[in-house]
Chain A
Amino acid sequence: MIDVKHLSKSFGDHLVLDDISEHIYPGEKVVIIGPSGSGKSTFLRCLNLLETPTSGSITFEGTEITDPKVNIDKIRQQMGMVFQHFNLFPNMTIRRNITLAPVRTKLMSQAEADDTATALLKRVGLEDKADAYPAQLSGGQKQRIAIVRALAMRPKVMLFDEPTSALDPEMVGEVLDVMKELAQEGMTMVVVTHEMGFAREVGSRVLFMDGGHILEQNSPKEFFANPQHERTQLFLSKVL
Chain B
Amino acid sequence: MDFTQLYETFSALENPGFWQDAYMKFYRAWFEADRWKQYFEGLATTIQVTVMALIIGVVLGVVVALIRTAHDQQRLGNRNPFLGVVNFFCKVYVTIIRGTPMMVQLLIVGLVIFASNRNKTMIGALSLGINSGAYVAEIIRGGLMSLDPGQNEAGRSLGLGYFDTMRFIVIPQAFKAILPSLGNEFITLLKDTSLISVIGGKEIVYFAQAVITRTYETMYPYLITAVMYLILVLIFTWLQGKLERRLRQSDRR
Chain A residues within CB distance 8 Å of chain B: 10-12, 48, 50-52, 54, 73-81, 83, 85, 87-92, 100-101, 104-105, 133-136, 149-150, 153
Contacts and interface: CB of A to CB of B under 8 A. Distances in A.
A88 B250 CA distance: 12
Interface residues of B, number: 27
A80 to B, nearest CB: 8
Main secondary structure, interface of B, reads helix
7 closest A-B pairs by CB: A77-B159, A87-B154, A101-B158, A81-B157, A87-B150, A76-B159, A133-B250
15 contacts: A52-B78, A73-B156, A73-B159, A76-B156, A83-B153, A88-B154, A89-B169, A90-B250, A91-B172, A91-B250, A101-B155, A101-B160, A105-B159, A153-B158, A153-B159
B214 interface: no
Nearest to A77: B159
B246 interface: no
Contacts of A87: 148, 150-151, 153-154
A157 to B, nearest CB: 12
A27 B148 CA distance: 33
A2 to B, nearest CB: 15
Contacts of B164: 104
A15 to B, nearest CB: 12
Given A87-B150, A136-B252, A54 B160 contact: no
A126 B77 CA distance: 43
Given A12-B77, A87-B150, A91-B173, A50 B158 contact: no
B76 interface: yes
B245 interface: no
Nearest to B249: A133
Nearest to A149: B158
Which of B76, B154, B161, B168 has the most chain A CB atoms inside 10 A of its CB?
A: B154
A104 B158 CA distance: 10
Given A50-B153, A91-B250, A133-B250, A104 B160 contact: yes
B176 A91 contact: yes
B250 A92 contact: yes
B95 to A, nearest CB: 27
A12 B76 contact: yes
Given A12-B76, A52-B75, A104-B168, A133 B252 contact: yes
Contacts of A134: 250
B8 interface: no
Given A12-B76, A135-B253, A50 B159 contact: no
B173 A48 contact: no
B243 to A, nearest CB: 14
A226 B150 CA distance: 37
Contact of A50 (B77, B148, B157, B249): B157
B251 interface: yes
A31 B2 CA distance: 89
Interface in B132-178: 148, 150-151, 153-161, 164, 168-169, 172-173, 176
A76 B154 CA distance: 11
Given A85-B150, A92-B250, A150 B173 contact: no
B250 A54 contact: no
A72 to B, nearest CB: 8
